[in-house]
Chains A and B, each alone.
Chain A
Amino acid sequence: MAYVAVKGGERAIDNAHAWLAADRRGDPAVPDLGLAQIREQLGRAIDRVMAEGSLYDRDLAALAIKQSQGDLIEAAFLLRAYRTTLPRFAHSEPVDTAAMAVRRRVSAVFKDLPGGQVLGPTYDYTHRLLDFTLAAGTAPPAPATAPATGAPMQRVNDFLRHEGLIEPDAPADATPGDITRQPLTFPAPRDVRLQALARGDEGFLLGLGYSTQRGYGGNHPFAGEIRVGEVTVEIEPAELGFAIDIGEITLTECQMVNQFKGSKTQPPQFTRGYGLAFGHAERKTMSMALVDRAMRAEELGEDVTAPAQNVEFVLYHSDNIEGTGFVEHLKLPHYVDFQSELETIRRMRAEADAGKEAAE
């Protein structure tokens, strides 16, 4: 028998999975990585996986990171697939970031302001030198502490709003859309756009945000404020009739302040781009705020010319779970379609040859 059709797909898959598990574990002489270690020591990875996986659970994120060998898109995918099966008991009241227990808060538009500039735990001014004491596992010195003031730290935008210099918040009485339950349709309102950006790929948003700074849909941004800290999450069960505290989550919020010369209907004022994400995610929220503002071009009567201003383009391509699935699906067999292309090309070549012969 010259040819035997390929068989054994099931066994191949089982074997592949067993090999993957061994590969994941690595050298068994090295101690197994504990979830608590990942949770406590790879915090920024946890934050990114929670944001892009749209699920706030540090322990599950740690498991996903372990299971995916640190492939953060794969980890976010694991969280998403788990999240989609969870029953929904309630939705939260809007969180109040003005009441955030701030760990870090910087504003680029004022030298000083009530509440002060709070550097907090930041890489900003670290010199990027590999720290070999970390390799040695040396315990860090204890950071300085100060008693909490307990006073809420007002948002920078609220200072600008008193003078009417910045556009007001949109009324928040409407129920926001839910992109995990309803397909995107266009024109997409801002609540839906922000939701998509909040779970969008950090790298994609970084590239788009960067492109606006280099002239592709620029809008002269200032980092009005970036704040990181804990906020309380509340739900209002129907049977209670009042809101109850169910815990706290870490959020990063970025308010970009942008130039606006005014239009026929609006006086000159600053406009806003907004970013919010789970965890400590400054790069993500700053990029998000730039892209949010860029996508408001049409609403503000600006020309829509750059990729970051094209709402359909941004929203359809910001999700890395969708993107990775479709890019990687090219690995799947396509030989039936390839065969049809082969036949078409052979036919066209034969016709071209026949044409040449006829001409000779």
Chain B
Amino acid sequence: MSTMEGYNFAYLDEQTKRMIRRALLKAVAIPGHQIPFGSREMPLPYGWGTGGIQVTAAVLGPQDVLKVIDQGADDTTNAVSIRRFFARTAGVATTTDTEAASVIQTRHRIPEKPLREDQIIVYQVPQPEPLSRLEPSRAETRRMHALAEYGLMHVKLYEDITRFGHVAISYDYPVMVNGRHLMAPSPIPAFDNPKMHHMAALQLFGAGREKRLYAIPPYTSVVSLDFDDHPFRTTRAPHACGLCGATDSYLDEVVTDDQGGRLYVCSDTDHCETRREAGHTGSESPLQEAAQ
């Protein structure tokens, strides 16, 4: 497939896009509530971003500038694949620059740079049901959401603290949206959770295989579950980026040799490049503090 002749703008037919937009409107009206939708079979595999792709396709216009990241990076293979898909089917401009993008589709990260009101971030969601590991039946979890019965989630946190001294969830950390709906933030590291709170940009979530959409309108309260005496806190590798020296960004750990050598670099590749262009530097050599 080298061209996409014969396909509609952004692949999906207009009827389907309208159906998704209607579901999105409902999702925005009930922040954090999962809306079932007629998820289509996409030419990419389920679990590889079909939900995010359908949401992006439904909101994308010809004037939009699209950025796609996976693990925070624009250059990971699946991000490249999805960006190409839209470049080919919608002919939209693409960018790696967070500031220049009007729509950002992401898997597993939120960019470090705060997003603006004129931007939309679309999350790829593998499992939209935050209660799924505690209660496998969707009929039952739907009932729990309807009645706002979330004691079970706190039992899980209680058990973690009892066993480990603190909550042992490091990603896809459950949040309460608008004080009403328990929501899975998608598998972003807990480090990114605070960025969702009162975010200026519209946040949309698509789960293709599970056929659910949800949304957080701009400036909505998003609170990570915790206890008063065990407040939510974030963790990152306690290092500076080896390339740009940033000490407040989320870091990837790169194995540099088989002797325990490690290099820590920004997971948000655009953030790191922007900083380097502005003259920031890092140590560039494997840091050994962790071992000492």
Picked from B13, B190, B269, the residue with its CB within 8 Å of the CB of A340 is B190
Please measure, in the bound complex, the distance between the C-alpha atom of A87 and the C-alpha atom of B256, giving whole angstroms.
53
Please, which residues of chain B bring their CB within 8 A of the CB of A181? 38
Q: Are B77 and A324 in contact (CB under 8 A)?
A: no
Contact call B77/A13, Cβ cutoff below 8 A: yes
Query: Given the known A-B contacts A329-B45, A340-B189, are A9 and B209 also in contact in the complex, defined by CB atoms under 8 Å?
Result: no
In the complex, residue of chain B having the shortest beta-carbon distance to the beta carbon of A16: B77
In this assembly, does B17 line the interface, its C-beta being within 8 Å of a C-beta of chain A?
Answer: no
Residue of B nearest to A178 (CB): B38
* Interface pair B284/A3, CB less than 8 Å apart: yes
Contacts of B81 in A (CB 8 A): 13
How many residues on the B side are at the interface (Cβ–Cβ under 8 A)? 68
Interface check B40, CB cutoff 8 A: yes
How distant is the Cα of A11 from the Cα of B109 in the complex, in angstroms? 24
Question: Does A125 lie at the interface of the complex (its beta carbon under 8 Å from any beta carbon of B)?
Answer: no
CB distance from B163 to the nearest CB of A (A): 10
CB distance from B23 to the nearest CB of A (A): 10
Whether B126 lies near A329 (C-beta < 8 A) is: yes
> 1/0 contact trace for B30-71 toward A, CB 8 Å?
000000111111110111101000000000000000000011
Q: Determine whether the beta carbon of A186 is less than 8 Å from that of B108.
A: no
CA distance in complex: A80, B208 (Å): 14
Give the docked Cα–Cα distance between A9 and B74 (Å). 9
Given A336-B252, A348-B164, A329-B47 contact (CB < 8 Å): yes
Residue of B nearest to A355 (CB): B165
- The reply to whether the CB of B18 lies closer than 8 angstroms to some CB of chain A is no
Segment of B111-119, B197-205, B236-244 engaged in the interface with chain A: B236-244
Question: Size class of A's contact patch?
Answer: 35 or more
B28 at the interface (CB under 8 A from A): no
Question: For B144, what are the chain A residues with a Cβ–Cβ distance below 8 Å?
Answer: none
- Bound-state CA distance A301–B80 (Å) is 53
Partner of A337, one of B47, B84, B187, B284: B187
Contacts of B253 in A (CB 8 A): 335, 339, 342
A334 close to B47 (CB less than 8 A): no
Residues of chain A within 8 A of B267, CB atoms compared: 336, 339
Residue in contact with A344 in the complex, picked from B77, B126, B235, B285, CB distance below 8 Å: B235
Q: Which residues in B have their C-beta under 8 angstroms from that of A87? A: 13
Q: How far is the CA of A3 from the CA of B168 in the complex (A)?
A: 32
Q: Is the CB of B269 within 8 A of A5?
A: yes
Report how far A126 CA is from B168 CA in the complex, Å. 58
What is the distance, in angstroms, from B86's C-beta to the closest C-beta of chain A? 14
Please name all residues of chain A whose beta carbon is closer than 8 Å to the beta carbon of B209 when the two chains form the complex: 322, 325-326
Instruction: Supply 8 further A-B pairs (C-beta < 8 A) apart from A3-B265, A81-B43, A329-B46.
Output: A13-B80, A81-B42, A183-B211, A324-B45, A325-B209, A326-B47, A336-B267, A339-B237
B binding-site residues for A, Cβ under 8 Å: 7, 11, 13, 36-43, 45-48, 50, 70-73, 75-81, 84, 107-109, 126, 137-139, 164-165, 168, 170-172, 187-191, 209, 211-212, 235-237, 242-243, 250-254, 256, 263, 265, 267, 269, 272, 284-286
